[in-house]
Structure 1
Amino acid sequence: MKNIVFPFVRLLIATIIFWSFSFCLFITVRYYQVGTEGGKAFQTGKGLQELDADVVPFIYWLEFGLYAGIVVGFVYAIVEFLFQKLHLDKLATGLVLLQKSFIYLLMLVLSTNFIVHLIEVQIDRNLPNESGWWIENKVFWLVVGYFVICSLIFSFFKLAKENFGRGVFFNQLIGKYKKPREERRIFMFLDLQASTTIAEQLGHFKYSELIQECFYDLNHVLPNFDAEIYQYVGDEAVISWSFDKGIKDNNCVELFYKFQDRLLKKQKSYIKKFGLLPKFKAGLHGGKLIVTEVGSIKKEIAYHGDVINTSARIQGECNTYNQTLLISEILLQKLKLHKYKLESIGNIALKGKEQEVKLFSINR
């Protein structure tokens, strides 16, 4: 239930804020006719229908915008969430856009009728709400055009978040990492076990589908543990946390086992489709490193330092000691893993490091 409620609530809050602001901005521009001469657009009700010469207070029209933002934001969140949960976003992009466009047009007609009824009671005026009024109403189609533009803007930010990662796009906009800066972070290198054997068994096309499905399930659990994807490298995912978020509630460890549980829950589906249940191994380490923006043709946030290299080396030791999750002692000391079984692997000489690193295995 947590995996469903929390993501939906976050999306709902974001959509309501976005659409409330958008519609209130539209109302403000129309009311004061920003950029034109001739007074207030809604002063006599023009734009909806001719009313009395009395001025309709701006606050009432602003309430109209808030009503619209709440209703549209709520329905918009439901549609986006259902498309994601039902995997409909995996369909062709053009088909998804057509389906959403039809749903949103229907939503606009129904919600506008509802909101117009609310506002006409509020301002004690007769507004157009007869059957089919919206077909020839110029303002309605103006709202539709504005809605399309705002939807594109919202989709742009959603796409930027999905491609750059949560918070990364905003940090790039404000130039946070134009100059290298030091941060404390935790890294997990997550890799598919027996990947070479599986690739030979399935063939490259089916193997690619397997990795795609696994990472889709990984992304399903990431938001609940404040985790970010740093990179996908073949069949390996590099996951990152700010140090405090990774430590909180043992997020960096809980994520690994929650991902394992999700794969196990879908065991029948994986076996039916691929003939196997994928299993992953991981290495965990944390500390200080440098974060900076690199590249000009393709920009990205890059992490430089011993922490990320050590994390990769720790994951590489999983096969050597037949373990699925290894962690450095330095990071382990910051966690409270009372419900897990911990076993010392010993001081290990990791490739490329002069000093040995003490490692522990974590099991349930």
Structure 2
Amino acid sequence: MKRNLRYFYRLLWQTLLFWVCAMALFAFFRFYGLNSIISISLKGAVANLSMAEIYGYYALTGILLGFIYAIVEFAYEKYSSKRLAIGPSIGLRTITYFISTIAVFTIIMEFISDSYELDIDNSIGWWLDNKVLHSNLLYVFIASLVFSFLKIATEKFGRGIFLKMLLGKYKKPQEEKRIFMFLDLKDSTGTAEELGHLKYSQFIQDFFYDLNEIVAKYDAEIYQYVGDEAVLSWPYDKGIANANCIEIFFAFESNLTKRERYYLKEYGIVPKFKAGVHGGILMVAEVGVVKKELAYHGDVINTSARIQEECNKYNASLLVSETLLNDLENKTSYTYTSLGSILLKGKHEKIEIYAINKK
């Protein structure tokens, strides 16, 4: 519940900031300086308002839209099926936003009408013939597309990363401290042979949908999907906070357990995963032109992958390096078993590894 609330609050302040700025900008473009231009004057209800009041009402509109958009986005993320195609999903959201936007403008117009004792038509269907509102709705629609684009870009590159890419921070390699988790399906070869390539692809889609439902709640970023393996990443501080980089694994297991009946019915098997986690300093750089993305280079990634490979050897589901384990917050919910100092494949120095289980 706490993680859901934290996710909602983060989404709320983002939508509030965007829509307040967007609507204030619209007020500036629409009304600023009109009365000072010869032959142009503000008429109707707007003529009774100062520019400060106009900005205030548009800012209030932005606040209401921000609240509604946050609630709608949160509800769709949590309760709607992510298996909907992009087209129907966008269509449902658009209809919801359209109805909500008209409701917001109706509330604002009613408020202005009562405050200034104006005779403004707010009867059912008033918006059908109101050309001023039509321009507002068109602007809101365009702003919604911009908001969606920013959200998609942020989800692809990670929070905070997209802005840094726009500013060109990663044109030259930068040093960062991050955590990586290599999350791999157990017995993938046998499962693929049993299900066949079509059913196996659907199987992969399903459990990655389940993974995506919890990624944002644990401040994780998905760096790559490689077949039936996912590579997750965190800025170091966010990964160790509340043991996010560990807790996400058990939350994912819990999600899969809740859907056990579905997996058994559809595939005759419930997916089980193994993971290796490690953190440290590495290099990050922007690569490519046609398919631009961020690439991470350094020993941290290689070590994380090698730790995950040790899961089969020690019959463990989750392994973590000692250096990362020592930095984790809120470790009382887990038990730790040392596997000793292990020389990982391709490495020259041994590393202390621990198996982690939920109490």
- Given that residues 3 and 221 in structure 1 are in contact (C-alpha distance below 8 angstroms), is that contact kept between their aligned partners in structure 2? no
Partner of 1:286: 279
The letter for the 1-side match of 2:356 is: I
1:109 equivalenced with 2:108 (yes/no):
no
Between 1:168-177 and 1:4-13, the stretch displaced more is 4-13
1:363 equivalenced with 2:320 (yes/no):
no
The letter for the 1-side match of 2:208 is: F
CA distance in 2, matches of 1:328, 1:245: 17
After superposition, where does 1:260-275 map in structure 2 within 5 Å?
260-275=253-268
After superposition, where does 1:95-174 map in structure 2 within 5 Å?
95-174=88-167
In structure 2, list runs of 5 or more residues that go unmatched: none
Partner of 2:232: 239
Q: Deviation string for 1:210-233 (max 9, x for gaps)?
A: 222212222222222222111111
Higher helix share: 2
Q: Deviation string for 1:103-137 (max 9, x for gaps)?
A: 33322322211110112233343333234332121
SS in 2 for 1:177: helix
CA distance in 2, matches of 1:338, 1:129: 58
CA distance in 1, matches of 2:111, 2:146: 28
SS in 2 for 1:317: helix
After superposition, where does 1:1-364 map in structure 2 within 5 Å?
1-32=1-32, 38=37, 44=42, 46=43, 49=44, 56-335=49-328, 337-364=331-358
Q: Deviation string for 1:313-358 (max 9, x for gaps)?
A: 1100100111111112222222353332222212222111111222
CA distance in 2, matches of 1:147, 1:343: 55
The letter for the 2-side match of 1:325 is: L
The letter for the 1-side match of 2:160 is: G
SS in 2 for 1:90: coil
Give the TM-score taking structure 2 as reference length: 0.92
- Given that residues 21 and 62 in structure 2 are in contact (C-alpha distance below 8 angstroms), is that contact kept between their aligned partners in structure 1? yes
- Given that residues 31 and 40 in structure 1 are in contact (C-alpha distance below 8 angstroms), is that contact kept between their aligned partners in structure 2? no
Between 1:90-99 and 1:314-323, the stretch displaced more is 90-99
Indicate the percent of aligned positions where both proteins have the same amino acid: 47
Please report how far the alpha carbon of residue 40 of structure 1 lies from its aligned counterpart in structure 2 after TM superposition.
Answer: 10
CA distance in 1, matches of 2:328, 2:144: 42
SS in 2 for 1:343: strand
The letter for the 1-side match of 2:338 is: S
SS in 1 for 2:122: coil
CA distance in 1, matches of 2:151, 2:12: 13
Please give the root-mean-square deviation of Cα atoms over the aligned residues, in Å.
Answer: 2.2
CA distance in 1, matches of 2:129, 2:168: 47
Give the TM-score taking structure 1 as reference length: 0.91
In structure 2, relative to structure 1, the CA distance for the partners of 1:182 and 1:109 (3 Å cut) is: closer
In structure 1, list runs of 5 or more residues that go unmatched: none
In structure 2, relative to structure 1, the CA distance for the partners of 1:40 and 1:157 (3 Å cut) is: farther
CA distance in 2, matches of 1:84, 1:297: 30
In structure 2, relative to structure 1, the CA distance for the partners of 1:4 and 1:245 (3 Å cut) is: closer
CA distance in 2, matches of 1:343, 1:287: 22
In structure 2, relative to structure 1, the CA distance for the partners of 1:123 and 1:243 (3 Å cut) is: same
